[in-house]
Amino acid sequence: MEPKIFTREALLIAGVTGSGDETGKAWDAFMKLDKLNPLKNRITDDGYEIRLYSGEGAGEVHVGACVKDVHVPVEYKVISLPSSLYAEFEIYPSKGYTSGNAEMNKWLSDNASVYRQGRLDDKYFAVEVYDNRYKGEKDPTSVVGIMVPIVPID
């Protein structure tokens, strides 16, 4: 699995944060909140899932939508992702959300002399993107992009 390498400008993701092992609960809370108090400054209908981890435990998950600025209702938390170089891997949810982990880890390991994984506040992170490629968990053609920040090694 060869990733697409590209630079992405800074992103502001307004949403809900929860435990990394309770992702479904975080999405449910975000969708409920978005119906009650919709984001007025949302950029697209795409969904974003930021996974933050330090190597121990389930880590954290932040789910939500990309917004233009931090002016959102107080019920939302905004996470700011800096402009970064990313390696984007495509996974097929119908095969399981962890189905591409081995290939991603192999690519990162094989390219460790070229890139190191980026961090946010001393935590590793990855961003799942639910855009027009996503057609539902059971659709075999459905794709989720997983963006892993990478930093070139000088």
Three-state SS at 30 = helix
Give the pLDDT band of residue 125 (cuts 50, 70, 90): very high
For residue 128, the surrounding DSSP H or E stretch is: strand 123-130
Cβ-Cβ contacts under 8 Å for 111 (sequence gap 6 or more): 150
Domains and CATH numbers, the chain: 4-152 (3.20.80.10)
Residue reference for tokens 């959300």:
97
| Beta partners for residue 18, in sequence order | 61
Single pTM value for the model: 0.93
Residue reference for tokens 């402009």:
83
> What pLDDT, in 10s, does the model give residues 68-98?
999 999 999 999 999 999 999 999 988 887 7
Structure tokens at 93: 């949810």
Are 19 and 58 within 8 A, CB to CB?
yes
- In this structure, is the dihedral angle defined by the CA atoms of residues 151, 152, 153 and 154, taken in order, positive or negative? negative
> What pLDDT, in 10s, does the model give residues 17-38?
999 999 999 999 999 999 999 9
Is 80 exceeded by the pLDDT of residue 2?
yes
Q: What number of other Cβ atoms are within 10 A of residue 107's Cβ? A: 19
> What pLDDT, in 10s, does the model give residues 47-62?
999 999 987 778 999 9
CA nearest neighbour of 17 among 132, 121, 98: 121
Helix boundaries (H) for the chain: 23-36, 101-110
